Amino acid sequence: MSFVEYGDTIKDGDTAIVFLGHESMFPVKVQHGTITQTKYGVIRHSTDLIGKKYGSKVTCSKGGWVFILHPTPELWTMNLPHRTQILYSTDISMITMMLELKPGSIVCESGTGSGSLSHALIRTVAPTGHLYTVEFHQQRAEKAREEFREHGVEHLVTVTNQDVCKNGFGVSNIADAVFLDIPSPWEAIGHAKSALKAEGGRICSFSPCIEQVQRTCLAMEEYGFTEINTLEILLRVYNIRTISLQIPDLGKAAEGNSSMGFDSSNPSSQGSPCANLQQGTVQFKSGVPLREMVGHTGYLTFATKS
> Is 199 marked as a binding-site residue?
no
> Is 176 marked as a binding-site residue?
no
**Among candidate residues 228, 231, 270, the one with its CA nearest the CA of residue 253:** 270
> Is 146 marked as a binding-site residue?
no
What strands lie across the sheet with 65-69, from one edge to the other? Answer: 24-29, 15-21, 65-69, 57-59
> Is 114 marked as a binding-site residue?
yes
> Is 2 marked as a binding-site residue?
no
Measured CA to CA, the distance from residue 158 to residue 137 in angstroms comes to 15
Measured CA to CA, the distance from residue 70 to residue 55 in angstroms comes to 7
Q: How far apart are the two ends of the chain, measured CA to CA in Å?
A: 41
> Is 116 marked as a binding-site residue?
yes
* Residue 198 CA from chain centroid, whole number: 31
Measured CA to CA, the distance from residue 266 to residue 23 in angstroms comes to 61
Q: What is the dihedral of CA 283, 287, 288, 289, to 10 degrees?
A: 170
> Is 221 marked as a binding-site residue?
no
Annotated binding residues:
114-117, 135, 163, 181
Annotated binding residues for S-adenosyl-L-methionine:
114-117, 135, 163, 181
